[in-house]
Structure 1
């Protein structure tokens, strides 16, 4: 144990680490709030325009400001697959098989990409929520060890000598917990939001698949 290191250096290093954790937590939190609010708005806006279209051709030609957002990107992936499959006419391996299953797979792949985008940053929140208390505890333990060494060296056990260094060391644990709580709460909240958005995307995939196959069947008739 390097007793020559000042306790203040160790505690300050811990506090700066926790400060970085706190800044990262609130940065991710504010960004995710904006991201989910924006996605919700874009999805509602796109849904209103998509279901007002008379057919898939008109739905594919929606204005650029409307065709933005997770559901819009899934729809664009579906339109791209339909157009490419018609041009390929079964001459490429990726279009050989049941059209319904191939289209569904293409839509699900895009949906998984959208889910990964929504989940970005959540791992950081979970990591901070789980490690911040231990970082604070680490600073507290080292601070107390230094305090005990100083008390032993001074030979005095008065309250003034004991309370000050130990009290300063315990601050690190308190801040560690204070940093972890918002990170854990934000992680749980956004994880629930991801599940809700995924359910909405799954419903849209099922609806798009049904409409695309129905339109294809009518075209063949």
Structure 2
């Protein structure tokens, strides 16, 4: 009897773990969908306003409602760096030693990596759930089958009616594990692809920013 109780507890813990994994998966899916949609909207809005500006000063002075999103933060990083470089004491600071264009590019790349990190946050969790959920379910199934075998041995009968029910109940854990893993894997692949597209878009913006800012940087040397 104690062993049966322990096995029941293990099976319950397994199922609750899979339920917890499922809640995390769908929470991340809805959050990442909102995050990508929001940033995509802000990037399009800022990109149009930035490239319609007559010069960098006008682009820097864009209203706050248009200066949102990853591209806006990258541009703000560039404007901050340009303003700091123009200060008289910049010539004696180590972080301004070197080619202005290369230093500006380094600052923009660093901010781009930070934006990429934000976009990829949560994807590791989805990948982990997608890879481990089936094994968690399989573990529950193995324990369930062991429980069923003990029950069958105690009943002294191996008829189909006695065997099919407990074994079928044990296989539910594997089915739930697969059902949890599939959305996690699909979501991971989808959002990873979206993150790669976003990174390419940010890198193109950085290249464009460097192109228009390079003349301004060299003129301040």
Note whether the superposition's TM-score is higher than 0.5: yes
Deviation at 1:6, TM superposition (A): 5.2
Give 5+ residue unaligned stretches, structure 1: none
The aligned counterpart of 2:200 is 199
The aligned counterpart of 1:25 is 25
1 CA distance for matches of 2:107 and 2:42?
A: 22
1 CA distance for matches of 2:97 and 2:217?
A: 16
2 CA distance for matches of 1:169 and 1:4?
A: 14
2 CA distance for matches of 1:190 and 1:220?
A: 42
Deviation at 1:180, TM superposition (A): 0.2
Deviation at 1:7, TM superposition (A): 4.3
* Counterparts in 2 of 1:120 and 1:202: CA distance versus 1, 3 Å: same
* Counterparts in 2 of 1:220 and 1:150: CA distance versus 1, 3 Å: closer
2 CA distance for matches of 1:89 and 1:18?
A: 56
Deviation at 1:165, TM superposition (A): 1.0
**What is the DSSP-based 3-state SS (H/G/I as helix, E as strand, rest coil) of the residue aligned with 1:212?**
helix
2 CA distance for matches of 1:73 and 1:47?
A: 12
**What is the DSSP-based 3-state SS (H/G/I as helix, E as strand, rest coil) of the residue aligned with 1:64?**
coil
Q: Is the 8 A contact 2:148 2:167 kept in 1?
A: yes
Give 5+ residue unaligned stretches, structure 2: none
The aligned counterpart of 1:118 is 119
- TM score, norm. by length of structure 2: 0.95
The aligned counterpart of 1:158 is 159
1 CA distance for matches of 2:124 and 2:204?
A: 26
* Higher alpha-carbon deviation: 7-16 or 66-75: 7-16
2 CA distance for matches of 1:210 and 1:56?
A: 11
Please list, as runs of the form range in 1=range in 2, the aligned pairs for 1:70-109 lying within 5 A after superposition: 70-87=70-87, 88-109=89-110
**What is the DSSP-based 3-state SS (H/G/I as helix, E as strand, rest coil) of the residue aligned with 2:22?**
helix
Please list, as runs of the form range in 1=range in 2, the aligned pairs for 1:127-166 lying within 5 A after superposition: 127-166=128-167
Matched positions, count: 219
2 CA distance for matches of 1:155 and 1:57?
A: 87
- TM score, norm. by length of structure 1: 0.95
Partner deviation per Cα, 1:124-143 (whole Å, 9 max, x = no partner):
00000000000000000000
2 CA distance for matches of 1:108 and 1:213?
A: 15
Partner deviation per Cα, 1:149-183 (whole Å, 9 max, x = no partner):
12112211122221111111100000100000000
**What is the DSSP-based 3-state SS (H/G/I as helix, E as strand, rest coil) of the residue aligned with 1:62?**
coil
2 CA distance for matches of 1:206 and 1:45?
A: 19
1 CA distance for matches of 2:78 and 2:101?
A: 11
Aligned-residue Cα RMSD (Å) equals 1.5
The aligned counterpart of 1:54 is 54
